[in-house]
A = this chain, B = another copy of it.
């Protein structure tokens, strides 16, 4: 006998979508995923992609589907206009939009958050994770780091987001590795034994002199040319330099509490290592747990 599903939580990003069926008590009873991310879909294809992914779930009545992420972008399923920071994330549900999805589903897409004062910025998806974090660590007030392609750094006070910024760290690593002159130093096994040494050297340089990122990047090339550094060392140096620079830029906002880290485990471990070099500490939090907690909280606020 399969458990019946009371509602469906969906994290719909640019590259993928992940869906969970929950019972009334909030327990996950089914999980589905698909590579039909927002970036691969036209507006009229979202409803079918959703049905294809969750259509086999046994639902009580018409299924309530609550979505966060890029499905609510202007080029997504239906635009969910941004809330503007500073804002209380308990207001996400009130900002949801409801695309037409046929009789089987009642769909809500949560808005993202934008910022117009203190630096133009936008997020979609991370705001729901932050709301989830506020239920997992209810007393937390301070900086939160969400490492990734576009890392987000947010100042959170309970359920209120005061300010945030986006660092293009992950994308920069991929760009430089793939398309720049540095690629000549990065051909080969990038995960070899010297990667850790390179990472430590790069992190130290980034933390020490974050204002000189443009000047320190070229060391990846020069170190290979004149110091015979192998590809694994160079890849580690580049990664450490970028993460060290990013953390140094945010160091002044870190208080005495460990910084919650939301992202892939491998990336959170690297960030925790560099935070420690900077005299701070990181506290990895499971990213799936956080997004589910955020969608649950948004549903309760609706």
Mark A residues whose CB is within 8 Å of B: 74, 82, 114-116, 119-122, 150, 153, 165-169, 171-172, 175-176, 178-181, 209-219, 221-223, 225-227, 242, 245-246, 248-250
* Contact for A167 among B114, B150, B176, B218, CB less than 8 A: B218
Q: How far is the CA of A82 from the CA of B120 in the complex (A)?
A: 45
Q: How far is the CA of A127 from the CA of B215 in the complex (A)?
A: 18
Q: Is the CB of A121 within 8 A of B219?
A: yes
Assess A227 versus B166: contact at CB under 8 Å? Given A214-B245, A248-B211: no
Q: How far is the CA of A74 from the CA of B227 in the complex (A)?
A: 14
Q: How far is the CA of A242 from the CA of B74 in the complex (A)?
A: 29
Q: How far is the CA of A246 from the CA of B214 in the complex (A)?
A: 7
| 7 pairs, A vs B, C-beta closer than 8 Å | A119-B216, A120-B219, A122-B226, A211-B211, A213-B213, A214-B246, A215-B246
Q: How far is the CA of A115 from the CA of B226 in the complex (A)?
A: 8
Q: Is the CB of B120 within 8 A of A226?
A: yes
* Contact for A217 among B168, B180, B181, B215, CB less than 8 A: B168
Nearest first, the 4 A-B pairs at minimum CB distance are A210-B211, A120-B222, A166-B218, A167-B214
- Whose C-beta in chain B lies nearest to the C-beta of A119? B219
Chain B residues with CB under 8 A of A167:
214-215, 218
Chain B residues with CB under 8 A of A121:
218-219, 222
Q: How far is the CA of A227 from the CA of B166 in the complex (A)?
A: 16
Q: How far is the CA of A223 from the CA of B114 in the complex (A)?
A: 10
